[in-house]
Structure 1
């Protein structure tokens, strides 16, 4: 009896984009991301997730009329080592990482996917580690993580190839400053309304 061994397969960004477009055509509940050489399955956002992004868009545009926060990009940012990845942030300022001021992630709850696709530990690793590293490597100045599971907001800044050098964490309900080039202070009190 012989078994087959599973192994990682290297694919190009262009091949990933073809796969992602096919998945988009057949599924309204799954999006794909290509982060640091791995394909990740990402469920669609729940209502509170969308409300948080709407809240953030409103705060950003009230504070700065010269920028716009884009939510739910189709193919995501060209992010990762040497641009060899496609991360789909929950919000960003543009699809080209070189012009993005801030990438935003709102952590997901387990949405009922088959555990082989998207377990809690996968969500944790993708949202809190893999994307963070990809955004820093792409040189995005600010990364904002709204963590519903922990009830915290984390602001990462000062990107380097090996990660962000500065990290500031506050609990929901506190004020937090998004450093330059964003330059906005957020009062996170309202985020308490969007957690389970």
Structure 2
């Protein structure tokens, strides 16, 4: 499938079923299910934290990104942190260069969760996105991936919900993960 064909399909799918988000990562077409209430609470919590700590930035929950070392992938992260004006005029699939961090929240769907733990970290690292934050509701942990090099993140720090998680520079925020305990299901 070409990128053009994928983008047409993604647009048609969105018109048919609002909330359905298609992705094309590592040559694989996949659909992200609409988030449930707890998933949405996690994203809203993170948006508020980022806004309080770094008001010059914005954590978008809708921005699609061009990803992969060859930029042929299309991902819809649960959160994309960048300068507040970074995506003005870029459309549905933005250049990933200004992105400081991407966020994925697991959704209790086996295929989606597998992509969040394997394919997406590789794709985001190959793109050069400095931080990948995985909020894993199944394992009840936060994983902070950093230092992308050679197509993978060189550092991964995992902490259980309830323990502070440092998002290193260029983000520079410490997350109090205690609130995540109530949204794990």
TM-score norm. by structure 1 comes to: 0.86
Instruction: Give how far 1:124 is off.
Output: 2.9
Superposition CA RMSD, Å? 1.1
Structure 2 residue 126 is the aligned partner of structure 1 residue 127: no
Q: Tell me which stretches of 4 or more aligned residues in structure 1 moved more than 3 Å.
A: none
Instruction: Give how far 1:161 is off.
Output: 3.4
Distance 2:113 2:36 in 1: 17
| Higher strand fraction (1 or 2) | 2
* Secondary structure, aligned partner of 1:159: strand
**Matched-pair contact (CA < 8 Å) for 1:36–1:81:** no
Unaligned runs of 5+ in 2: 82-86, 88-93
> Pick from 46, 69, 78: which aligns with 2:66?
78
> Pick from 45, 51, 54: which aligns with 1:61?
51
Instruction: Give how far 1:82 is off.
Output: 1.1
TM-score norm. by structure 2 comes to: 0.90
Unaligned runs of 5+ in 1: 1-10, 111-119
Computing the radius of gyration over CA atoms, which structure comes out larger, 1 or 2?
1
Residue-by-residue CA offset, 1:131-160 (whole Å, 9 max, x unaligned)? 111100000000000000000000000012
Instruction: Give how far 1:29 is off.
Output: 4.8
> Pick from 147, 158, 162: which aligns with 1:173?
162
With 183-192 and 25-34 compared, the bigger mean Cα shift is at 25-34
**Matched-pair contact (CA < 8 Å) for 2:123–2:151:** no
